[in-house]
Amino acid sequence: MHELTVAIQIRRGLETELASDEGTLVADVVRVQVGALSGIVPEALQFAWPHAVADSATLGSARLDIDWVDVQLLCVACNDVYTLTEFRSLRCPHCRSPDVEIIAGDELDIASVDVRERARDLS
Ligand SMILES: [Zn+2]
């Protein structure tokens, strides 16, 4: 499953980043932006997440929030920006030009992470 690989990559990236704080931080929420062209199925990524972080001290209890990003196109001919609602045609809905650029929809980015300090072990 591709999404498990992606979830593990997200985990590794975040653990590397949060490790500099000497293991005192715990992540509560991890927000990722997933574009419609990323090839990621959000439900599959959501399913894979707890398996990918189960044994992580930093991310083991973190919730994954997925922001879905639609495909946005810019028409080079008339400068119109529009959201792609179906994959049948990429042509500009206004001037019918096929000369368009993808300006959103291929993201697979970590948008933000909510962290808190781990409660001290008083025993
Ligand atoms: Zn146009």
17: CATH: 3.30.2320.50
Averaged confidence pLDDT in the chain: 91
The amino acid present at 73, given as its one-letter code, is: L
pLDDT tens for 41-70 read 999 999 999 999 999 989 999 999 999 999
- Asked if residue 80 is part of any domain, the answer here is no
Residues of the chain where predicted confidence (pLDDT) is lower than 50:
none
Residue 17: the pLDDT is 86
Element containing residue 53 per DSSP (H, E): helix 42-53
Q: Is residue 63 part of a domain?
A: yes
pLDDT of residue 85: 81
Distance 80 CA to ligand 1 centre (A): 6
| pLDDT of res. 13 | 92
Range of the domain at 111: 2-69+104-116
Residue 97 included in any domain:
no
**Tally of domains within the chain:** 1
pLDDT computed for residue 86 by the predictor = 78
Instruction: List, as ranges, residues with CB under 5 A of the ion ligand 1.
Output: 75, 77-78, 80, 92, 94-95, 97
pTM score above 0.85: no
What is the Å distance from ligand 1's center to 68 Cα? 25
For residue 89, being part of any structural domain is answered with: no
Q: Is residue 92 part of a domain?
A: no
Structure tokens at 100: 């368009």
- State residue 33's pLDDT score: 97
Burial label for 47, CB within 10 Å (0-12, 13-18, 19+), is middle
What is the reported pLDDT for 122? 59
| Residue type at position 102 | I
Q: Is residue 112 included in any domain, yes or no? A: yes
